Structure formats: C-alpha cells, structure tokens
C-alpha cells in the first residue's frame, strides 16, 4: 500500500501554467529564436541590460549563501515607497507569497474568497491548507463587484484574494471600489491585493501603499516578473503591517531569494530609464491590439496590464493552434472557462505587428473555410 497523501489534494489538479518555449520547439520543430511567446504575460523586451554586468561583478560570491534579510533590496524598496523595511517580506515570486499567506492564515474549514475569473493559485493554496474556497462571479462585463465580495464574508472567512489589475481580464478596480474593499473588510479577515501588473496602469491611481498601511489587515503583493522582466529570477515582495510580515516569516523558507536574484532586482530598480521604455512600449502595443480588434469587430477589455483579453466569437483553442502554426504563442480563454476569448501579451513592437498580421490572416482563413 502506497503512502496516502492528504485528502485535500484529491480536489487539486497540477497547476496549468502557460506553455514553455521548449515545449513548442519540440512539438513544432521551430528554432527558439523564431518563436514569439505571448502566452505568459512576460516582458518580451527583457530585463535591464545593466543586470548582466552587475551579476558578473558578483560571480565570485555564487558559492555563498544569500543575504537572508535581503538587505540591499529591502533598503531600496523601503526608500522608494517611503515605508519601514519591517513592512516588507520577500518571496520566490508572487506564487510563494500567496502560499505563505495561506500557510499562515488558512486552516481546515477556513474560508477564502476570490472572484472568477482570476488567478487560480488562490484556489490551490486554499485547498492545500484544507480550506474552503468561495468564488464570487464577476459582473457580465467581467468587472469585480466589490459589494458582492464583502457580502460573501462569513464568520469562517479568513482571507480575501483580489488581483488588481485582474488576470485574465486586465480590469483595474476603480479607486472608490478599492477603498470600499479596504474599509469594509472586517478586521478579522486578511485582504490580499495582488498588484503584479499595476506598473502598467498608465493613469494616476490611488497610492495603494498608503491605503494598505492605513489598515492592519491588508497586504499588497508586487513582483519583479512583469515590468522589470525578471520572471526567471523569481522575486516578489509584500507590503503590510509588521504582525502580518512576522506571521508569514514563520512559515517562510529562510534562504528563499538567491543572491543573483537580489542583485538583479536592485539593479532593475535603479534603471528607471529602461523601465520607462518598457512601459512606453506596452502602451503602444496595447493600442495596436485595440485597433486590430476593432477592425475585426472583436470586443475587448481596455487593459491596465501587459496583455489584452478579447472576445472573438471563434473557438479560442482553434485560434491558439493557428497562431502556433505561425510560431506565435497565445493563451486560450478556455483555460479560464471562456471558450471564445483569447489573451495575448504585449511583445516588442515588431512582435505586435506580426501578431496583428497573423490575426487578420487567421480570421480570413477561417471565414474562407466556412463559406
């Protein structure tokens, strides 16, 4: 008889991530350099070019354990946000931070609330800890109904997970809605605001750091994976009151941020000029996509992220396959239960032109076949 895993795992399937370039290379025989990967919301412009030099200068320290306190990055972020370093916790990307929250706050029979569609790791970590996951449907236009979220709070609720801007929709909560959530979440419930994509929002927005630190039961999550282009380095951080940081630290693996990752993140923070280039490219890319969707008569959601969620009226899996035939990787909305929607990340300007050209070609081919 084999060793039995805990029963909660019976409710889980392995996390379904975006496809890898390697899987497409092996499945389709393309050269790696010919593939445009726009499935995982990564930064196709890459990381700051200054990072390679910074890592080379530290290469003699690769054999040492990393700084467990993440001192230099902690000091940089504390200064940037105008907060104390004690209000920061670091994780191996947002995935680990979300897991730490669940490990620290969710036990058997406790409830966690989130919306659907949204980032599905919230569900996984709740179930792993034998909690109960409560999904609140978005409105017909896929925006988040914050009053409905609060209405679902019970005396068993321990955590609310809100992805803002939301993935896969790209919606950003209006400021009044965000304030409503912060002000109306009971003190006994931890409100998690996952801001992985907030850097891409191009207009003024409420100072979420100040807003979060106005309450003792709120934590913001941010990452270096998106706008800073450091997805493979796995660096994320949380901002919260000291008690929350302390509780999460008790369940954290001590050496969770490698030395190269710390060096890369510090260097990326210092290169503000390169970050601005990334954000400018994203704004231009979104506009290209909007114009293409409008020309084809597709509905889409104006995005505050580095991707667009669009309703095509066509089979999303078919569209994904047709893009793959052209060495372009996109995400099918069927992964989220939306079979006629596709999610496309913004790439370089040249990538985006190829996407638009391919999209027009694919739609024309499908229409020709249907005649």
Q: What is the pLDDT of residue 24?
A: 83
Across the chain, which has 371 residues, the per-10-residue mean pLDDT values are 80 75 84 92 96 95 94 98 97 97 97 96 96 97 98 98 98 97 97 97 93 96 97 97 96 94 98 97 97 97 98 96 95 95 97 97 85 62
* Residue ending a domain, choose from 221, 238, 271: 271
One domain for residues 254 and 309: no
Question: CA angle, 324 as apex, 201 and 345 as ends, to 5°?
Answer: 5
Residue 163: strand pairing partners: 194
Asked if residue 117 is part of any domain, the answer here is: yes
Q: What is the pLDDT of residue 263?
A: 97
Yes or no: say if 279 and 202 are a contact pair by the CB < 8 Å rule: yes
Asked if residue 54 is part of any domain, the answer here is: no
Rounded CA separation 314/85 (Å): 49
One domain for residues 209 and 101: yes
* Residue ending a domain, choose from 271, 301, 326: 271
Yes or no: say if 164 and 198 are a contact pair by the CB < 8 Å rule: yes
One domain for residues 183 and 309: no
* Residue ending a domain, choose from 218, 239, 271: 271
One domain for residues 262 and 281: no
> Structural domain of residue 338, as residue ranges?
7-46+273-370
Q: What is the pLDDT of residue 371?
A: 62
Asked if residue 107 is part of any domain, the answer here is: yes
Asked if residue 115 is part of any domain, the answer here is: yes
One domain for residues 264 and 286: no
Strand 88-91 with 111-116, pairing: unpaired
Give every CB contact of residue 321 below 8 A, 6+ residues apart in sequence. Answer: none
Burial class (CB in 10 A: 0-12, 13-18, 19+), 365: exposed
> What's the CATH code of the domain at 305?
3.90.1150.10
> What's the CATH code of the domain at 238?
3.40.640.10
Yes or no: say if 40 and 21 are a contact pair by the CB < 8 Å rule: no
H or E segment at 163?
Answer: strand 157-163
How many structural domains does the chain have? Answer: 2
Residue 62 CB neighbour total at 10 angstroms: 11
One domain for residues 90 and 152: yes
Rounded CA separation 243/217 (Å): 9
Mapped onto helix, strand or coil, the DSSP state of residue 209 is helix
User: Which residue carries 């950003």 as its tokens?
Assistant: 172
One domain for residues 362 and 241: no
One domain for residues 267 and 279: no
Closest CA to 346 of 288, 268, 295: 288
One domain for residues 256 and 155: yes
One domain for residues 301 and 327: yes
Both tokens assigned to 15: 């996390």
One domain for residues 319 and 333: yes
One domain for residues 281 and 253: no
């Amino acid at each position: 008889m084999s060793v039995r895993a805990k029963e909660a795992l019976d409710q889980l399937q392995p996390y379904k991530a975006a496809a890898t370039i390697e899987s497409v290379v092996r499945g389709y025989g393309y050269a790696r350099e010919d593939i445009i990967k726009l499935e995982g919301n990564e930064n196709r412009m890459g990381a700051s070019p200054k990072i390679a030099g910074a890592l080379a200068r530290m290469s003699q320290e690769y054999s040492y354990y990393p700084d467990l306190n993440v001192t230099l990055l902690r000091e940089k972020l504390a200064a940037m946000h105008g907060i104390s370093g004690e209000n920061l916790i670091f994780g191996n990307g947002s995935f680990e931070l979300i897991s730490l929250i669940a490990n620290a706050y969710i036990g058997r029979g406790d409830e966690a609330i989130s919306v659907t569609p949204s980032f599905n790791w919230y569900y996984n970590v709740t179930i792993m800890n034998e909690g109960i996951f409560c999904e609140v449907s978005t409105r017909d236009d896929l925006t988040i109904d914050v009053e409905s979220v609060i209405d679902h709070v019970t005396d068993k609720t321990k955590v609310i997970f809100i992805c803002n801007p939301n993935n896969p929709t790209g919606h950003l909560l209006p400021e009044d809605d965000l304030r409503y959530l912060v002000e109306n979440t009971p003190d006994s419930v931890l409100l998690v605001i996952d801001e992985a994509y907030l850097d891409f929002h191009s207009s003024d927005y409420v100072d979420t750091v100040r807003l979060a630190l106005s309450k003792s039961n709120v934590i913001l999550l941010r990452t270096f994976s998106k706008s800073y282009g450091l997805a493979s380095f796995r660096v994320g951080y949380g901002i919260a009151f000291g008690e929350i940081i302390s509780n999460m630290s008790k369940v954290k693996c001590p050496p969770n941020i490698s030395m190269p990752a710390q060096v890369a993140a510090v260097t990326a923070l210092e290169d503000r000029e390169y970050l601005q280039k990334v954000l400018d490219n994203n704004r231009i890319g979104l506009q290209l996509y909007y114009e293409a969707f409008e020309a084809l008569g597709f509905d889409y959601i104006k995005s505050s992220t580095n991707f667009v969620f669009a309703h095509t009226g066509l089979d999303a899996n078919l569209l994904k396959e047709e893009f793959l035939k052209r060495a372009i990787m996109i995400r099918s909305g069927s992964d989220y239960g939306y079979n006629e929607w596709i999610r496309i990340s913004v790439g370089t300007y040249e990538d985006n032109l190829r996407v638009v050209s391919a999209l027009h070609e694919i739609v024309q081919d499908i229409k020709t076949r249907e005649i």
